[in-house]
Amino acid sequence: MSATNSHPLSVAGLFGMTRFGLLLIVFGVGAANAKDLTITSASWDSSRNILTVNGDGQRGNTVSVSDADTGTLLASPGVRQNERWRARVRNPESVPCRVKADSAGQTAERDVANRPASCDQPPVTDLGPLQVLAANDLGMHCADLDYQIFSILPPFNVVHAQVIEQGSGIFFPRIVTGDEVDVSYAATSSPNDPAGADSINTTSENLPGIFKSNFWSDSGVALPAGTPGQGNNWTVGGLAYAPLYPGVQVLDTVGVGSFDALCADPANELGCPSALSLFEPIPVNTGIPVPDLALFFPLNASDPPLAVLAQQHMPGLSNSPQMFDRFDTDLPFFINFDFGSRLQAVNWFAADGIPLLPVDDVGRSNAYPLMKVSAQDKTSGTSLASLDVVLPVASEADCQNCHADPIDCLDPDLPADVQSDQ
């Protein structure tokens, strides 16, 4: 037994020697003398695009080096005879902020030196697995092919979304708020789309050989003097929907400022111009302005009403994700009418007025285009969960379906400038 006294054998080694002989004595010695797994250095060389990680470990073992934040495996070096290991990763898909090493049941972690500046941003909100729920709330939205006279509705699709943190163990699912995540939308497609494989609708802009709308076209009618867009013309759509907006004179009562000078200007033949004129000419792929109703009709009657208006946008040909403009907690719903009420705790992200049209980017008619709604980390923009939803929009309710008959358009009793056979 004297041989055993020359080594600091573990209890397992002694037990092994008495029952299983020399084999477990060797195991016991090895376990007692095993080198602990460590990471001695980790650095990023941006000039050569090389990540280098050095460490110690038990010779003969393999070390799995991974991104500590994502779990992505980076390299699997072996431990050399001198009980040291090295991993060099050239041109990694993403540079880790922190690396992790695993080997023979041991782990070690270390921050990467010279790591990207984004690593030092505030940490991602500690959220569990998320699920996005989203739906269009208007049903089939009625758009028109021509906005020169009027239309049933402008390009105006509405999507509401909720983000749910899934339950686990004793924790119940809960609704995530706008303070914790952002929500965006971008166009997407399906290989099984009935309109055609991979039909996608990123833009409402007219493309070469593809007509989508004249909503954003120049109407030839000058904007009122004194408006921000003075010197430009109304868009066709803006001119059609201006009468449905209040006059600018109401804006000084809702925190925007006074525009009384516009009403007093004799150049404005109709008196106070429409509040929509302040947003004209509306750029293509931009929706009409929508007020935040919770601020416009404040819960506390002593608080002044505020007109905070936002415009949703199409993603455009680059398909850039667009943010939902609001997170609604309580929502006034036709509150000035007898049937109206204030909806409590709706807790949804709202994108009101996405200017979507029923023509895809190659000119196919598609009344059921898809958008990908994504919950994103507020700091990094990383997608945490997503869902593809349909934003239905169609032009079947086009005015000309009923009013293009000569008995309507060529009636000699109509003013000459209205009569048309088109």
List, for residues 42-52, the tens digit of each pLDDT value: 999 888 889 99
Lowest mean pLDDT among 164-168, 201-205, 354-358: 164-168
The mean pLDDT of 350-363, rounded to a whole number, is: 95
pLDDT score recorded for residue 99: 92
Distances (CA, A) of 257 to 110, 126, 248, 391: 55, 42, 9, 36
The single-letter DSSP state of residue 181 is E
Residue 372 structure tokens:
């990908």
The yes-or-no verdict on residue 265 having pLDDT over 70 is no
Overall fold of domain 38-120: Immunoglobulin-like (2.60.40)
User: What are the residue boundaries of the structural domains of the chain, listed by start?
Assistant: 2-33, 38-120, 141-216+283-409
Q: Which helix (H) or strand (E) holds 95?
A: none
List pLDDT tens digits, range 219-237.
999 998 888 898 999 999 9
Helices (H), 229-299: 236-241, 260-264, 293-296
- Pairing between β-strand 141-142 and β-strand 393-394 as defined by DSSP bridges: parallel
Cβ-proximal residues to 339 (8 Å cutoff; 6+ apart), any chain? none
**Each residue's pLDDT tens digit, 46-103:** 888 899 999 999 988 999 999 888 788 899 999 988 889 999 998 888 899 999 999 9
Tokens of 230: 């003075």
Residue 373 CA to residue 385 CA, distance in Å, equals 9
Query: Of the ranges 289-303, 329-343, 352-366, 398-412, which one carries the lowest mean pLDDT score?
Result: 398-412
- Contact criterion met (CB below 8 Å) for 92 and 116: no
Tell me the average pLDDT across 202-208: 95
Instruction: Quote the mean pLDDT of the chain.
Output: 82
Q: Is the pLDDT of residue 208 over 80?
A: yes
Q: How far apart are CA 323 and CA 308, in angstroms?
A: 16
> pTM, whole model, 2 decimals?
0.65
pLDDT in tens, 151-198: 778 999 999 999 999 988 788 999 999 999 999 999 999 999 999 988
Q: Considering only CA atoms, give the Rg of the chain.
A: 33
- pLDDT for 15: 33
Segment 105-114 shows an average pLDDT of: 90
Contacts of 393 (CB under 8 A, 6+ apart): 140, 141, 143, 155, 157, 356, 357, 358, 367, 369
DSSP per-residue string spanning 311-378: --B--TTTT--EE--EEESSEEESTTSTT-EEE----EEEEEEE---SB-TTS-B-SS-EEEEEEEET
